[in-house]
Amino acid sequence: MVIVKKTYKYRAYPSREQKTILNRQMLLSKQLYNLLLEKSQQHFKDTGKTFTKYDMIKWTTKLKKEHPEYNEVYSQVLQNVPDRISKAYKNFFRRVKEKRKGKKLKVGFPRFKSFVSSLTYPQSGFKIEKKRIDLSKIGRINFVNHRDIDGDIKTLSIKKTKSGEWYITIAVEQEDIIPFTNGKEVIGIDLGITNYATLSDGVVLQNRDISKEECNTLHKLQRSISQRKKGSINRKKAVQRFARYSEHIQRIREDALHKMSYNLVNSYSFIAYEELKIANMVQNHNLAKSISESSWGNFIQLLQYKAESAGCVVVGVNPQNTSKTCSGCGNVQDMPLSQRTYNCEKCGMSKDRDLNASMNILKRATSGQGGSHASGDSASTSQKEKASGIVESGTILGVSR
């Protein structure tokens, strides 16, 4: 039995009055966040000690007595603000440790916020009905209940997007029995730009490309912002039109990745991928835009959490030399990015660059026993045993045992 964490997302339609209340509460949450961050920094300068989460909650309670306007926000929502700051500091110190160990990343000290776009209710302060959600100190908000909630509700958040749309997200935990394997083939996957994904059995997958017309529309809306006077109503309208269309493009891409990852985890029992350092790769200005739009990191996350209920295992491997190594004899040779076919100088093997890399990824994940299924051969018994062994060892990614 495992504990599976899931998040349900629903489109919400608050009334005009409720939008005013929500915007007001988000403004107060932003003010509280900045006050607590300033207080924590000053406390450390004065005492040399950390202003803990408990200290922040205690100080917030005192602040509410001096400034009654903070009582407009539900108490548990206000207590979530110190939790956000506490997590921001923990992430900051974690990145500091990682940088000391040699990782190339930005440390990113917690910064003051110019806006807060969401409110979080931890387990209380809300009641879910069939078509409405009753939020404390806000009222009953209409939402599109397109999917039943299954599990114990942990948190509920209401968020406003840049285009002015509202969404409700509900995080739940549920006990589930995860099948050890769905008994299907094992695969290695190489992510790329020319071809989005090349599998070690020869299958090539393409992401949903944004058309030239859609790109032109996006650029036209972006230019219209600069043509409007700063601070004017027309500029605000232009910003909202651009944000709405940008979110439309983003949803198209996300939908394609959801469908692709769903098909993969239901078609294979074991998927090996490269643990790419995407943050380092986007420093190449020639490829940064293409890599960012590909959303490899998001795609891997989708694979990991969808694999839980599909009887599939998703495993990452070291990406070093996967494109430079011959999948036939193991010879390593230089492979410029422009060279799309791997011609081995030692054994004479000739294969597509991405197919050769995906076969190496599978071999690396299965300790050299993976092999290739490019000719349609079924997975060997040893491969399936290894995949089952990985699952039984409790390393299903994204699942809490």
What are the strands of the beta sheet with 185-191, ordered from one edge? 204-205, 197-199, 185-191, 268-274, 313-317
Determine, yes or no, domain membership for 53: yes
User: Which pLDDT score, from 0 to 100, does residue 373 have?
Assistant: 42
Mean pLDDT, consecutive 10-residue segments, the chain of 401 residues? Answer: 81 96 96 94 90 92 92 93 93 89 82 94 90 94 92 93 93 74 85 87 83 88 91 92 91 90 91 83 74 83 84 87 88 86 88 90 73 39 40 32 27
Kindly give the interhelix angle for 53-66 and 75-100, rounded to the nearest 10 degrees: 140
Both 336 and 230 in one domain: the answer is yes
**How many residues belong to the chain?**
401
| CATH number of the domain bearing residue 218 | 3.30.420
Does residue 150 lie in a domain region? yes
Q: Which of 176, 205, 227 is the last residue of a domain?
A: 176
Residues 236 and 256 in one domain: yes
CB 386 within 8 A of CB 392: no
Residue 398 domain-assigned?
no
Q: Which of 176, 193, 215 is the last residue of a domain?
A: 176
| 27 and 150 fall within a common domain | yes
Q: Are residues 144 and 227 in the same domain?
A: no
> Two tokens at 319?
């990406």
Close Cβ partners of 327 (under 8 Å, ≥ 6 residues apart):
349, 351, 356, 359, 360, 363, 372
Considering the domain architecture, whether residues 340 and 212 belong to the same structural domain is answered as: yes
Q: Is the Cβ–Cβ distance between 188 and 365 less than 8 Å?
A: yes
263 and 123 share a domain?
Answer: no
**In this structure, what is the dihedral angle of CA atoms 80, 86, 92, 97, given to the nearest 10 degrees?**
-140
In a 13 Å sphere around the CA of 91, the CA atoms on its Cβ side amount to 12
301: Cα separation from own chain's centroid: 6
The structure's pTM equals 0.75
Same-domain check for residues 238 and 331 = yes
Same domain for 267 and 170: no
Q: Is residue 401 part of a domain?
A: no
Q: Are the C-beta atoms of 304 and 264 separated by less than 8 Å?
A: no
In a domain, residue 82? The reply is yes
Which pLDDT score is estimated for 390? Answer: 37
Say whether both 143 and 245 belong to one domain: no
Tell me, yes or no, whether 288 lies in a domain: yes
| Domain shared by 258 and 387, yes or no | yes
Beta-sheet strands, E only, within 192-299? 197-199, 204-205, 268-274
Residue 399 falls inside a structural domain:
no
Domain interval for residue 11: 2-176
Same domain for 225 and 96: no
Domain boundary residue among 147, 176, 205?
176
Contact 164, 358 (CB under 8 A): no
Within a domain: 259: yes
- Number of domain units in the chain: 2
Do 229 and 169 sit in the same domain of this protein? Answer: no
Distance of alpha carbon 330 from alpha carbon 95, whole angstroms: 36
How far is the CA of 125 from the CAs of 5, 154, 169, in angstroms?
Answer: 21, 12, 15
